[in-house]
Amino acid sequence: MTGITHRQILANLGKDERADLLARSDRAGLVHLAGHLAVLGLTGGWILSAAPLWQLGLLIHGIALIFLFTLLHECVHKTPFASQWLNTLAAAVCGFVLLLPARWFTYFHLAHHRHTHDPQRDPELAAPKPRSWRQYLFYLSGLPVWWSQVRVLAGNAGYGPVDDFVPGDKHEKIRREARITVILYALIAAVCWYAASDILLWIWIGPAILGQPFLRAYLLAEHTLCPHISNMLENSRTTFTGAPVRFIAWNMPYHAEHHAYPAVPFHKLPQFHQILKPHLQCTETGYSGFHKRFAGQLKRVDAGDRL
C-alpha cells in the first residue's frame, strides 16, 4: 500500500496525458457495441432455431442481455461515444430493456459517485448486503433487485415520493419517463397477446431473469468488503479477470480506475490502469476469488459489522 489518494494521482497527470485519457470515440464505442449486439443476435438466433444446446444459448443470451447494464452505466457518464445523442439513445434503450429508466438511474448513479461507499449517503447501500447464506443466495437470485425496480418504476409513474437524490425540479421529468415506460411495456404486452406470440419470453424476459444472478455476482465485488473511506483507490475494487468478462462488462472490472476518474471512457481504462496499478489498494484475482472470500465472511460476520 502506498497511501496515495486518487486525487493526488489526478493532480499529477500532465495536460497531454489527461487529454489522451479523456478522448472519447464514436468508433471505439460503436465497434464494441457491434460486438455486444452480435453476441445477442447469434444467441437469439440459436434460441429461436431450437438448435442443439439451445438452453446454453439461452443462458449466454441472458448474460449478454443483462450486462447491457454496464453500457447503461457508462452512458450515464456520457463516455462510451463522442456523440452525445448516441449516449442518450443507448442509455434510453438499455434502460428500457432492463426495467431501469435511464434518467432516474442517472441520478441514482451520480449520487453513488458523490458518496461512494458512504453507509449513510450512498444509495447503493440503502439495501444491506447479505450477512447469511440465505440472504446471499436470495441476493444472487436477482429477485430483490427486480422487485425494487418494479416498485421504483410504479412509484415514479404514480404519485408516490420521488427519491431524495433526484433534484426537486426534475421530479416531473422522472414521472413522465416512468409513465411513458409503463405505457410502452403495456403496448408491447398487448401486441404479443394479440399476436399470440411468446417470442419476447424467450429472447427478453426469460434470459434477463437467467442472466441477473451473474450481474448480481459481478456487482457485489465492486465495493463490498472495501473500507468505508473516501479514497477511491481503497473503497472500490479492481478485479483481474479474463477478456470475455472485460468485454461483456465494457471494461468495468477496472472499477477503482473508473471511480478514480469517471470521465475516462471504457476503452481508455486499461491505459489508466497502468498508471494506477502500483497504487491500487483493493484488488481481487477473479470473481470466484472474491466470492470465496465473501462466503467465508458470512460464517463469522457479526450483526454490528458493515460489509
pLDDT more than 90, % of the chain: 93
Burial of 191 from C-beta contacts in 10 A (0-12 / 13-18 / 19+): exposed
d(CA 84, CA 90): 10
**Would 304 be classed as within a structural domain?**
no
Q: Which amino acid is at 54?
A: W
d(CA 240, CA 222): 12
Q: Nearest-CA neighbor of 5 among 220, 221, 227?
A: 227
**Domain limits for position 82:** 6-298
The DSSP element (H or E) to which 37 belongs, if any, is helix 26-48
What digits encode the pLDDT tens for the residues 163-208? 999 999 999 999 999 999 999 999 999 999 999 999 999 999 999 9
d(CA 184, CA 290): 39
pLDDT more than 70, % of the chain: 96
How many structural domains are present in the chain?
1
Find the mean pLDDT for residues 236-248: 98
d(CA 6, CA 3): 10
Answer yes or no: are the C-beta atoms of 45 and 100 closer than 8 Å: no
What digits encode the pLDDT tens for the residues 3-32? 799 999 999 999 999 999 999 999 999 999
Residue 161: predicted pLDDT = 81
**Would 100 be classed as within a structural domain?**
yes
Q: How many CB atoms lie within 10 A of CB 16?
A: 8
C-alpha cell belonging to residue 164? 431524495
**Would 67 be classed as within a structural domain?**
yes
Q: Which residues pair with residue 239 across a beta bridge?
A: 284
**Would 306 be classed as within a structural domain?**
no
